Structure 1
Amino acid sequence: MNEVINTLLSHRSFRSYENKPVDENQLNEIIKAVQAAPNWTNGQNTTIIAIKDPERKKRFAELCGNQKHIEEAAVFLVFCADFYRTYIASQMEGTEMGALEDIDTLIVGSTDVGIALGTAVTAAESFGLGTVPIGGIRRNAKEVIKELSLPPYVIPVSGLCIGHPAKDPGHKPRLPKEAVYHEETYHRELQPILEKYNETYSAYLSDRSSNQRNSTWTEHVAKFFSKSYYDGIPEMLDQQKFPGGKS
């Protein structure tokens, strides 16, 4: 295997970091890699905001649900779906942004952020740095928007901690290939595969000395997705003039 594949297969999420800054040249290369990533119709609808100030990292840790690793990370990146540049381009060209009324625009922005985030993770790990994505950036989305001074047509989608790992958490077992890779059509008979994976997942949890959970994978995801996780998302989308809000 080549180095890129080795980096991808070695991925794990780090939630503990050394008190050591990330080299600015490396951070610059990470951002350059993100900018080189594919995006819809070259709209380049992703913006990254870096949080380095210790007090501001502490504030974002609180907003994201008291996630201490945001404070510990050398840099916390906030990935935003950004159509404000598109708005300016429309103003310059004297056109309306009719697409902002279509829910597909929200899908486009979120997809572009996902590609950008994955690219940043791989780029950071190629330097031996540790990362962990932070979906909790949407927990208090309106306050995050205020903290970042986000204009209309921009929403926070995900955060990303980057730093020098302090502790290796080990690999978390993934679903078997046959659960996620299908050929020609979707194969719906997944229950036997998930039952077997439950055994693997439970064994992984029981072998971790720091683990405080004891469940199967299906129990975990069923509970997590049994209700809406973050309040106020439709209102936030309305505020930022995105489709998918309450209006």
Structure 2
Amino acid sequence: MNSTIEAILQHRSIRHFTEQKIEDEKLELILRCANAASSSSFMQCCSIIRVSLPDVRAKLAELAGGQTYVESASEFLVFCADFNRHQQIHPDAQLGFTEQTLIGAIDTGIMGQNALLAAESLGLGGVYIGGIRNNPQQVTELLGLPKHVLPLFGMCLGYSAKLPEVKPRLPLSIVVHQERYQNLDKQELEQYDQHIKMYYASRSRNNRQTSWSEQITATLNKESRPFMQGYIEGQGFSLK
């Protein structure tokens, strides 16, 4: 096992950071690694907004649901799907297709993962902030995002003050399918649910008494940002 694989398998979300700032050279390396990510048809349809101003950070933390680590992290980056740049190059560009929305989301996700893996390899930690989609229009106005730009997620980066346990993932026997899609093995799921319960019970902080299946049931029994469709269309995405 090499250091890259070790870093991937030891991933955990970091939400508590020290006051130590990320060195400029490390931040540049992280951003270069993000920018080196795979790009569909070499469209390079992603942008990163680096947010440093304390008042803007505080507002973003509020808009993301009161996630204070948006303020306390050394760096906060907002990853966006961006076709505005392409329209500036080609004003008659045919935009608004759902396929472009998918390309933008996929490429931006890959870019974010490159950034986080690079940060972790440099001894840093971080966490994705999907909460910026709680109030997408306000985030758009706050960051001055033009049409054809979608803020997909934020990312806190910094030096970890607390190192939580690695959260167990679904077993490969559930995730990986051979040749064709296979129905869920309920026995495997039950074993995983018990594993998750044991993990939460033994965790050093924020103990829970729920299984993964119970978490998923609770999450999918409520609406999930129903305003997103209208917002996405307003930004010029998924119109056709």
CA distance in 1, matches of 2:41, 2:222: 34
Task: Give distance in 2, aligned partners of 1:135 and 1:213.
Answer: 22
SS of residue matched to 1:77:
strand
Deviates more, 1:78-87 or 1:222-231: 222-231
In 2, Cα distance between equivalents of 1:76 and 1:190: 40
Counterpart Cα distance in 2 of 1:101 and 1:46: 16
Is residue 135–residue 157 contact of structure 1 (8 Å, CA) maintained in 2? yes
Question: Does the CA-based 8 Å contact 1:80-1:113 persist in structure 2?
Answer: yes
Q: Unaligned regions of 5+ residues in structure 2, if any?
A: none
* Equivalent in the alignment of 1:229: 224
Distance, in Å, in 2 between the alignment partners of 1:142 and 1:190 is 41
Alignment check: 8 A CA contact 2:174 2:184 kept: no
The equivalent of 1:157 in structure 2 is 152
CA-to-aligned-CA distance 1:18-60 (integer Å, 9 cap, x gap): 0121111111111111111101100001100011222221111
2:102 is aligned, of 107, 111, 122, to 107
- What TM-score, normalized by structure 2, do the two folds share? 0.95
**Farther off after superposition, 165-174 or 205-214:** 205-214
Deviations 1:180-202 (A, max 9, x none): 11221222133222111000001
CA-CA distance at 1:101 after TM superposition: 3.4
What amino acid sits opposite 2:35 in the alignment? Q
Deviation per residue, 1:83-125 (Å, 9 max, x gap): 001111222xxx441xx33211111111011101111110000
| TM-score (normalizing by structure 1) | 0.93
Q: Distance in 2 between matches of 1:228 and 1:25?
A: 42
Identity percentage of aligned residues: 36
- The equivalent residue for 1:176 is 171
Where 1:152 maps in the other structure, the secondary structure is: coil
Q: Give the Cα–Cα distance (whole angstroms) in 1 for the partners of residues 149 and 30 of structure 2.
A: 22
Checking the alignment, whether the CA contact within 8 Å between 1:133 and 1:159 is kept in structure 2 is yes
Tell me, what secondary structure is at the counterpart of 1:50?
strand
Q: What CA RMSD, in Å, does the superposition of the two structures yield over aligned residues?
A: 1.4
Distance 1:219 1:125 in 2: 31
List runs of 5+ in structure 1 lacking aligned partners: none
Deviations 1:165-193 (A, max 9, x none): 00011111111111111221222133222
Larger mean CA deviation between 175-184 and 124-133 belongs to 175-184
Query: Secondary structure of 1:136's partner?
Result: helix
Moved more, 106-115 or 234-243: 234-243
**Other-structure match for 2:238:** 243
For the Cα contact (< 8 Å) 2:165–2:203, is it kept in 1?
no
Query: What amino acid maps onto 1:12 in structure 2?
Result: R
* Residues 115-149 of structure 1: CA deviation (Å, up to 9, x unaligned): 01111110000110011001101000000000110
- Per-residue CA deviation, residues 213-239 of structure 1 (Å, 9 max, x unaligned), is 321101101211223322421221122
